[in-house]
Amino acid sequence: MFSKDIGIDLGTANVLIYVKGKGIILNEPSVVAMDRKTEEVLAVGTEARKMMGRTPKHIVAVRPLKDGVIHNFDVTEAMLKHFMHILKLKGFMTKPRILICCPTNITSIEQNAIREVAEKAGGKKVYVEVEPKVAAIGAGLDIYQPNASMVIDIGGGTTDVAVLSMGDIVTSETIKTAGDSFDRQIMKYVKDHHKLLIGEKTAEKIKVEIGTALKHTEAKEIEIRGRDILTGFPRTLKINSMEIGEALKESVNSIVEAARMVLEKTPPELASDIIESGAVLTGGGALLDGLDQLLAAQLQIPVSIAENPLECVALGTGLMLEAKENIFRKSKQRQIADAKNRTF
Ligand SMILES: Nc1ncnc2c1ncn2[C@@H]1O[C@H](COP(=O)(O)OP(=O)(O)OP(=O)(O)O)[C@@H](O)[C@H]1O
């Protein structure tokens, strides 16, 4: 048993853990199933996600993070402890140092909650870094050059748009419109237009299989099942991608507007870099069909999708941990520098 540095992408939808020297060794949904009365944790991750929308009254399957921040501290702690326990069983570590990520616009209280939960889950020393910066590194962008890099990280709960230069964020915007909003919009559309109630998992399946950001697209079709609002009976329905494009229009526009706002705030020299280098999409939402094309057309810049959009943040923590001057040493130097500044 030995101590290791680990990177955690504590996402609204998924938790990924990177162990220095080993790579991503855990990738599980951020879901916990609990007994309502005793609050006993019954299942975590994939097992708990299977139960979502299917539990008897005394069991509840919940997602402890909402919009990129901790919604239920105790359940988040239980979930992270469980994942860390799995790693321990594999004999990787005693108390690890942890690099954990958060959205850019959260309050210091919310950031402290993330730090505290990582400490309680077993972290020896915890360092918090902002998600779009880590995602950009994970997407392979060299953010340390004096040139602009632009990243649009579309997760489950939040979309973080940032322009980076010389290793830091220059301008950014975070909105609570991302993968979960897409799912909610689909549920609403099916309810309003087809009088059919569907669950979150069905909405997500529709999004992944036939969802699109484009208005004019090849019409794909999917058969879905739900409960008829009027009769109360189960019903089957065929729905096509044009309808889903319509359902997602509002959410997609919010992402375009957030990106436009960031470009508008970006200093002219850096904005001119972006005309050439473009923006990179990371996070699971980047996989929505046509979103890259739509953003490129609306923003008039090249837009590409990172190679492993769902893994960029975890890979970014890995690259920061593996770097010779890794984040913990750097933070120690920063602490010393800060202390010196305070002394003089
Ligand atoms: N092929 C796909 N098409 C569209 N959306 C997808 C696809 N695959 C995954 N997603 C969506 O990506 C989202 C999860 O992405 P990701 O794991 O990057 O989020 P997260 O890091 O957990 O969230 P956050 O950063 O907001 O806390 C989910 O909403 C999921 O439905």
| Ligand 1 lined by 185 (C-beta under 6 Å) | no
| Ligand 1 lined by 316 (C-beta under 6 Å) | no
Residue 12 Cα to ligand 1 midpoint, Å, equals 9
Residue 314 Cα to ligand 1 midpoint, Å, equals 13
pLDDT at 104 > cutoff 90? no
Mutate to test the pocket of ligand 1, among 111, 151, 207 (most ligand atoms within 8 A of CB): 207
The rounded distance, in Å, linking the Cα atoms of 34 and 39 is 6
pLDDT at 18 > cutoff 60? yes
| Ligand 1 lined by 154 (C-beta under 6 Å) | no
Sign of the dihedral through C-alpha 139, 264, 174, 133: positive
Q: Which residue has the higher pLDDT, 92 or 109?
A: 109
Q: Tens digit of pLDDT for each residue in 216-250?
A: 777 899 999 999 999 999 999 999 999 999 999 99
Phi, psi at 164, each rounded to 5°: -120, 150
Q: Tens digit of pLDDT for each residue in 173-222?
A: 999 999 999 999 999 999 999 999 999 999 999 999 999 999 877 789 99
Residue 340 in marked binding region: no
| Ligand 1 lined by 208 (C-beta under 6 Å) | yes
Q: Give the contacts of 326 (CB within 8 A, at least 6 positions apart).
A: 5, 320
Q: What is the pLDDT of residue 30?
A: 96
Put simply, whether the predicted model's pTM sits higher than 0.90 gets the answer: yes
Q: Which atom of ligand 1 is nearest to the CA of 182?
A: 29
Q: Give the contacts of 289 (CB within 8 A, at least 6 positions apart).
A: 211, 212, 213, 214, 217, 241
Residue 311 Cα to ligand 1 midpoint, Å, equals 10
Q: Tens digit of pLDDT for each residue in 37-75?
A: 998 999 999 999 999 888 898 999 999 999 888 999 999
Let me know the angle formed at the C-alpha of 35 by 34 and 38, rounded to the nearest 5 degrees.
Answer: 120
Mean pLDDT of the 86-108 span: 81
What is the architecture, at CATH level 2, of domain 149-305? Answer: 2-Layer Sandwich (3.30)
Q: Where are the domains of the chain?
A: 5-134+312-343, 149-305
pLDDT at 164 > cutoff 90? yes
Q: What is the pLDDT of residue 330?
A: 65
| Ligand 1 lined by 178 (C-beta under 6 Å) | yes
Grade residue 92 by pLDDT with cuts at 50, 70 and 90: low
Residue 37 in marked binding region: no
pLDDT at 155 > cutoff 90? yes
The rounded distance, in Å, linking the Cα atoms of 30 and 225 is 25
pLDDT at 328 > cutoff 80? no
| Ligand 1 lined by 283 (C-beta under 6 Å) | yes
Q: Tens digit of pLDDT for each residue in 273-293?
A: 999 999 999 999 999 999 999
Q: What is the pLDDT of residue 2?
A: 44
Q: What is the pLDDT of residue 219?
A: 84
Give one word for 167, left, alpha or beta, with left for phi > 0 and alpha for psi -120 to 50.
left
Residue 212 Cα to ligand 1 midpoint, Å, equals 14
Superfamily in which the 5-134+312-343 domain is placed by CATH = ATPase, nucleotide binding domain (3.30.420.40)
Contact 114, 80 (CB under 8 A): no
Q: Do domains 5-134+312-343 and 149-305 have the same CATH topology?
A: yes
Q: What is the pLDDT of residue 338?
A: 46
Residue 76 Cα to ligand 1 midpoint, Å, equals 18
- Is the predicted ipTM greater than 0.85, yes or no? yes
Q: What is the pLDDT of residue 95?
A: 84
Contact 249, 255 (CB under 8 A): no
CA nearest neighbour of 155 among 129, 183, 127, 114: 183
- Give the residue, by CA position, lying nearest to ligand 1 atom 19: 155
Residue 97: half-sphere exposure toward Cβ, Cα within 13 Å: 16
Q: Which atom of ligand 1 is nearest to the CA of 282?
A: 18
